[in-house]
Chain A
Amino acid sequence: MIAEPPSALRCTSISVRYGDFAALTDVSVAFAPRLIHAVVGQNGAGKTTFARVVAGIVRPVSGTLEIDDREIAAGHVNRSRAAGVELVHQSFALPPSFTVAETMEFGARRGRPIFTRRELEARWARHLENLGVQARLSDRIRDLPVESQQGVEIARALVADARLLILDEPTAVLSPKGVETLFQRLRALKASGVTILLVLHKIREVLAVADTVTVLRGGRLVKGPVAASSVNARELSAAIIGAEAEQSLTVRDEEALIGSDLPAEARTVVASKGSAPAILVADRISTRPDPEGPALGEVSLAIASGEIVGVAGVEGNGQRTLVRALTGLAEIESGRIRLNDEDVAGFSTGERRARGLRVIPFERNSEGLSLLSSLWENWSARQLLQGSPLKFISPARFRAECDSALKRWDVRYSTTLQPAGALSGGNAQKLILAREVDRDAKLVIAAQPTRGLDVGATAFVWRSLRDATARGCGVLLISSDLDELFDISDRLVVMLSGRIAAEFEPPFHLSEVGAAMTGAR
């Protein structure tokens, strides 16, 4: 037998199934120690599942796992941690009410059962300092900005001599500046001997930081690991998207989907739509802070008919409050909101909707749909709210209308009586689109409309929003994906701390927008 080179992690024939769904199929891959390895693929390619298998959170139906050339039992978090594997989750999994010091102690394997707060803080101060994480040990997690939270999460993962650190989509919540800080931190960790497995979907970021690249598609290994220096963005994008899907996408959309780094200047400049009538004019609207987000400070915004205005910003800078204020779910303290030349500031959500306002909410599964209710009930909700609640309805008619609407929107379902929770993420979003992007829509507020969707569904959402503008609709698009914003926005505003920090016309430049997002301008 030929002696194989040492590997930090070796997976052999790993398969994972969720019910009928094969999340990973026969994945065999080995990663060399003390390098940064990127695992890339679209949403739903199995990247997160792969990370969770290595961390012991998900038990594969078959396959073996070796850490540092020693086999460990798969599916046990404790065994994986004992072998030195730590996972930094995509959505942070830190307890919000803990202080930073308590979080560290919670992750540590040794520790005395009784301690004082001061002792804890003394114990972990050095640890954070070494990692360059700037956070006071007595601060509570929920009070930290996202970038510090991620630093703390990484520090938490490293309290117990991690040898293999896995980060699942760590850049999703970061500003471009934050991404650079993260990458520096990762390079420092690599130098100190840690092997890093980075789950990403943006090619630009992969090529900037990774030593090797591994591509997953549809739960299968399609490429790698290969040296990052030996591949270019185009090859990678073909491997990630797959030849078939690639044909149905425009070049521009494809670039936006995978974040490949072509010069932004080369993109077409859309003709100015300044002469079109304004659909929405928000004039210096301010709100009070509430539990759901920071206050708005004199936000002014105008959206013309046929225009897509993008809202960029690090999450938690008032985007949610903006949507709630425009929708009528958050009270405004001062300022005016005009919808189609009508002052709607004093109007309820229902009254604004009756005037053509439509919303694709942030949280598909809680704000957008009632998962336990049937498809037709979810689909009819908006229409049912027009007019008297005591008016008679014919469920059969609504079911028939829902049926034809959902077919038109290419939703995959078996019957309109099935609960909305049985739909996949992409189909659930299409159901919401079918409800919100109707003929009477004048202004569509789309909040994170493509989060968690696969390439096909994402492209579908973009096409739907563009079609809506072609009918004269205005669109306000809130997204944390800059590639998406750059691709489909006609104009871009950046929110920072509840204010509009900057406004951009195309061509958009990543460096300028990124600087505005962090207030570095």
Chain B
Amino acid sequence: MQGNLAAVGRALAFVLLALALCGVLFQLAGYSAIEMFESIADGAFLNPNAWQGSLRWAMPLFITACGVVVSFRSGYFNVGAQGQFYMGAIGATFVVDFLNGYPAALVVPLAFVAAIACGALWVAWPGYLRVASGADEVITTLMGNFIASLILIYVTGGILKDPSGTGQVMASRPVAEAYRISSETGLSPAIVGITVAVGVLTWVLVNRTAFGVLSGLAGRNPTMVVWQGARMSQLGLGAFALSGALAGLAGVIEVLGPNGRLVSGFLPTHGFTAILIALVAGLSVAGAAVVSLFFGGLAAASLYLPVLAGLPAAAIDIINAAIALFITARAAPGLKWLLPRRRAVGGG
């Protein structure tokens, strides 16, 4: 546990390095690095209302990141969180759109079930291809993201399209007020409760069940657990399905919560930020909670940047990219221990 936190601390040090690099870049580009950092700190944490904004972004990210932690720990690199997140949001929107008018006690739980099922199903086919034929899940889940994005454009421009919309932004009809689980602020007891529950359950799964220990062993050496009698297909499909389900859950929270409707191309980096969070957190659930707050803060600050530092909001994307770069460089040897299964099993 302490080892985990130390690892998170080291990872955060790399994040600070990335921020410093961005500061230099922005300074050279003629912006004020000081102002930029001030506005980030202000927008993320220091402003009295900043915490609300940070939390609003952090919670769905944390839920998706929990799923990423489970699948990466098992040695399955599901990088399709973005697509599973979209499919979850689409599934939920179908339920609220077609059952519009039915009581919320029926529709809302159904929307959650649909979102979780859609997220899990969207990773089921890469998962099946992986365990059945060894197709590389990094490729298939990544491709799944593009397909999901296009499905999102298709449904928001077609069957779910809001007829009263302007035509500039393709979106579904707004979710009926009765079905919303929070206002635009994205903060409500329901969302906080779900997030805490997901965090606790994932932590228990990873640290206090046979599955957690076995998937950790399998992630580092699948050959060994196979000789011990584990069925990698079961462990793998379980990990895949759970990661997809949690990304789908984040999707329904965004639709029924702060977004209030399904917008084409919304939150295009959600899944990738969640992967970044899981990696910075060293694949620990507790670490992911802390790191999610940090990245949630960055997301919240992106709204302040144009106002305070005169920087485009895209500056946050640059910062995220720099962090990803630094974390990848740091994790390169760390990722190696996750990868031995890709080597051929040597004959004795």
Footprint of B on A, CB under 8 Å? 291-293, 315-316, 320, 327-329, 348-354, 359, 361-363, 366-373, 377-378, 380-382, 384-385, 387-395, 447-448
Would you give the shortest CB distance from B135 to chain A, in whole angstroms? 18
B214 CB-CB contact with A under 8 Å: yes
Using an 8 Å CB-CB cutoff, how does the interface string of B332-348 with A read, 1 for contact, 0 for none? 00000100100001111
B213 engages A377 (CB within 8 Å): yes
Residues of A within 8 A of B226 (CB): 329, 349
Partner of B209, one of A316, A349, A392: A392
A392 engages B208 (CB within 8 Å): yes
Q: Which residues of chain B (94-152) have a CB below 8 Å from chain A?
A: none
Residues of B within 8 A of A385 (CB): 210, 214, 225, 228-230
Residues of B within 8 A of A382 (CB): 228-229
B207 engages A395 (CB within 8 Å): yes
**Closest 4 pairs (CB-CB, A-B):** A350-B229, A370-B221, A362-B348, A349-B229
Residues of B within 8 A of A291 (CB): 347
- Determine which residue in A352, A381, A392 has the highest number of CB atoms from chain B within 10 A of its CB, and name it: A381
Would you give the shortest CB distance from B210 to chain A, in whole angstroms? 4
Question: CA–CA, A327 to B227, complex, Å?
Answer: 8
A373 engages B347 (CB within 8 Å): no
24 CB-based A-B contacts, threshold 8 Å = A292-B345, A292-B347, A315-B348, A329-B227, A350-B231, A363-B348, A366-B345, A366-B346, A367-B224, A368-B227, A369-B224, A370-B221, A371-B221, A372-B337, A377-B213, A378-B224, A384-B214, A385-B230, A389-B209, A389-B234, A389-B235, A390-B205, A390-B209, A447-B348
Partner of A367, one of B227, B234, B337: B227
B216 CB-CB contact with A under 8 Å: yes
Question: CA–CA, A354 to B227, complex, Å?
Answer: 13
The verdict on A380 contacting B213 (CB below 8 Å), with A349-B226, A366-B221, A389-B238 known, is: yes
B223 engages A366 (CB within 8 Å): yes
Would you give the shortest CB distance from A300 to chain B, in whole angstroms? 23
Question: CA–CA, A363 to B220, complex, Å?
Answer: 16
B231 engages A348 (CB within 8 Å): yes
- Determine which residue in B220, B231, B234 has the highest number of CB atoms from chain A within 10 A of its CB, and name it: B220
Q: Which residues of chain B (171-214) have a CB below 8 Å from chain A?
A: 204-205, 207-211, 213-214
B319 CB-CB contact with A under 8 Å: no
B211 engages A381 (CB within 8 Å): no
The verdict on A366 contacting B224 (CB below 8 Å), with A320-B347, A392-B208, A395-B207 known, is: yes
B208 engages A395 (CB within 8 Å): yes
B220 engages A373 (CB within 8 Å): yes
A389 engages B225 (CB within 8 Å): no
Partner of B228, one of A315, A381, A393: A381
Question: CA–CA, A352 to B229, complex, Å?
Answer: 8
Would you give the shortest CB distance from A291 to chain B, in whole angstroms? 8
B230 engages A350 (CB within 8 Å): yes
Partner of B221, one of A327, A348, A353, A373: A373
Residues of B within 8 A of A315 (CB): 348
B313 CB-CB contact with A under 8 Å: no
Question: CA–CA, A329 to B229, complex, Å?
Answer: 9
Taking A293-B347, A329-B226, A366-B340 as given, write out 16 further A-B residue pairs in contact, using a Cβ cutoff of 8 Å, ordered by the A residue number: A291-B347, A292-B345, A315-B348, A349-B227, A351-B229, A353-B228, A361-B227, A367-B227, A368-B227, A370-B221, A371-B220, A371-B221, A373-B217, A385-B230, A388-B210, A389-B234
Residues of A within 8 A of B210 (CB): 384-385, 387-391, 393
Nearest neighbor of B3 in chain A, beta-carbon distance: A417
Question: CA–CA, A9 to B229, complex, Å?
Answer: 52
Would you give the shortest CB distance from A450 to chain B, in whole angstroms? 14
Residues of A within 8 A of B230 (CB): 350, 381, 385
Would you give the shortest CB distance from B193 to chain A, in whole angstroms? 23
Would you give the shortest CB distance from A168 to chain B, in whole angstroms? 19
Residues of B within 8 A of A392 (CB): 204, 208-209
Question: CA–CA, A442 to B229, complex, Å?
Answer: 16
A369 engages B346 (CB within 8 Å): no
Question: CA–CA, A373 to B345, complex, Å?
Answer: 19
Partner of B214, one of A352, A354, A372, A381: A381
Question: CA–CA, A354 to B213, complex, Å?
Answer: 19
B234 engages A370 (CB within 8 Å): no
Would you give the shortest CB distance from B131 to chain A, in whole angstroms? 15
Question: CA–CA, A395 to B205, complex, Å?
Answer: 12
Residues of A within 8 A of B347 (CB): 291-293, 316, 320
Would you give the shortest CB distance from B51 to chain A, in whole angstroms? 34
The verdict on A393 contacting B229 (CB below 8 Å), with A367-B223, A373-B221, A381-B224 known, is: no
- Determine which residue in A327, A348, A388, A390 has the highest number of CB atoms from chain B within 10 A of its CB, and name it: A390
Residues of A within 8 A of B224 (CB): 366-370, 378, 381
Residues of B within 8 A of A350 (CB): 229-231
A384 engages B213 (CB within 8 Å): yes
The verdict on A377 contacting B346 (CB below 8 Å), with A353-B228, A367-B224, A368-B224 known, is: no
Question: CA–CA, A378 to B234, complex, Å?
Answer: 20
A373 engages B209 (CB within 8 Å): no
Residues of A within 8 A of B337 (CB): 372
B227 engages A320 (CB within 8 Å): no
Using an 8 Å CB-CB cutoff, how does the interface string of B17-37 with A read, 1 for contact, 0 for none? 000000000000000000000
A363 engages B229 (CB within 8 Å): no
Residues of B within 8 A of A447 (CB): 348
Would you give the shortest CB distance from B252 to chain A, in whole angstroms? 24
B209 engages A377 (CB within 8 Å): no
B209 engages A393 (CB within 8 Å): yes
Would you give the shortest CB distance from B303 to chain A, in whole angstroms? 41
Nearest neighbor of B214 in chain A, beta-carbon distance: A384
Residues of A within 8 A of B235 (CB): 389
Nearest neighbor of A447 in chain B, beta-carbon distance: B348
Would you give the shortest CB distance from B326 to chain A, in whole angstroms? 23
B221 engages A369 (CB within 8 Å): yes
Question: CA–CA, A324 to B221, complex, Å?
Answer: 18
Question: CA–CA, A381 to B345, complex, Å?
Answer: 20
Would you give the shortest CB distance from A352 to chain B, in whole angstroms? 7
